[in-house]
Every structure is written in structure tokens, then in C-alpha cells.
Structure 1
Amino acid sequence: MGFGDLKSPAGLQLLDDYLVDKCSIEQYMPSKADVAVSEAVSSPLLANLCHALRWYSHITSYEKEKASLQE
């Protein structure tokens, strides 16, 4: 899944729109794809990007486990 430049407002809006009904990027559980996308996001996210903000908070809570997440 491509979101463009995740440091730009347009890229972040694409991510937010994608996450409207999802809890992670590719699966139902956090994966390495979530880690890769979260590392590309410029932080902090704006409050109006509520779906991306929810997802980002969830994924960053897995900081200790990120090396063991599925592909």
C-alpha cells in the first residue's frame, strides 16, 4: 500500500483515509508493514487525522515487540 510522502499533508490524509476501518496496514494485527509506515510518518500527527493518530498510538505501543512482529 502506498501513501506517497508521509511527511506531507496529502500523504498523511491518504493514510488517515485508508485507516478509517482498519486497525493496521496489512493484517488484523500489527506487522512489520505497520512499523515501516509508522517510521516514515512525521510525528506528531495532527488531531484532525483521527484514524492515523489512533493507529500511530497503537503501533508505537509495540516498540519493545517490533522486532518480533510478522512480515
Structure 2
Amino acid sequence: YFMGVCKSPSALAVALNDYLTSRSYLAGFSPSQADQKAFKLLHRPPDPQHVHALRWYRHIASLQLDLNSESSSE
């Protein structure tokens, strides 16, 4: 929802921080395409003041590294 409404990465970070206060992922209980899309829209880690968004960003980034290393080893 908020990915279409937020016009800047900083506004998206604020919205993500609020949404992720009690969640680990944007949709459901595992990483989804929504997480991938939001991650790409941010371009960089959120400011440290957005603790929930930063936690989520770091987690999704670690999953990206895992996926990249798996695909390069094949």
C-alpha cells in the first residue's frame, strides 16, 4: 500500500518503520515480492532513528547476499 503513496525514500522509511513495528515482513510470515520491491525503492539503509525499518532492511539485505552467493555458486 504505502509503496505507491510514498514519493521519496525517506517517506517510505517512515512508513515502513511504523508498519514494521510489530512485523518481520511486509506480507505474511516470510520474505515476499513486497519486501523485494520496498528494498529496491529505498536505495540505501534507513536512518538509524527508524529502528524497525533498519532492522528489516538489514535482514532483507542479508537474504539478498545469500541469494546472490547461491546463484553464483551454481
Report the TM-score range of the alignment, normalised by the length of the smaller protein: 0.7 to 0.9
TM-score where L is the length of structure 2: 0.75
Higher CA-based Rg: 2
Runs of 4+ in structure 1 over 4 Å off: none
State how 1:1-16 maps to structure 2 within 5 Å.
1-3=1-3, 4-7=6-9, 9-16=10-17
Please give the TM-score of this superposition, normalised by the length of structure 1: 0.78
Unaligned stretches of 5+ in structure 2? 69-74
Contact 2:21-2:52 within 8 A present in 1 as well: yes
Task: State the superposition RMSD in angstroms.
Answer: 1.6
Please report how far the alpha carbon of residue 60 of structure 1 lies from its aligned counterpart in structure 2 after TM superposition.
1.2
Compared with structure 1, are the counterparts of its residues 42 and 34 closer, same or farther at alpha carbon in structure 2 (3 Å cutoff)?
A: same
What per-residue deviation string (whole Å, max 9, x for no partner) do you get for residues 22-44 of structure 1?
00001111111100110001313
How many percent identity over aligned positions? 30
| Larger proportion of helix | 2
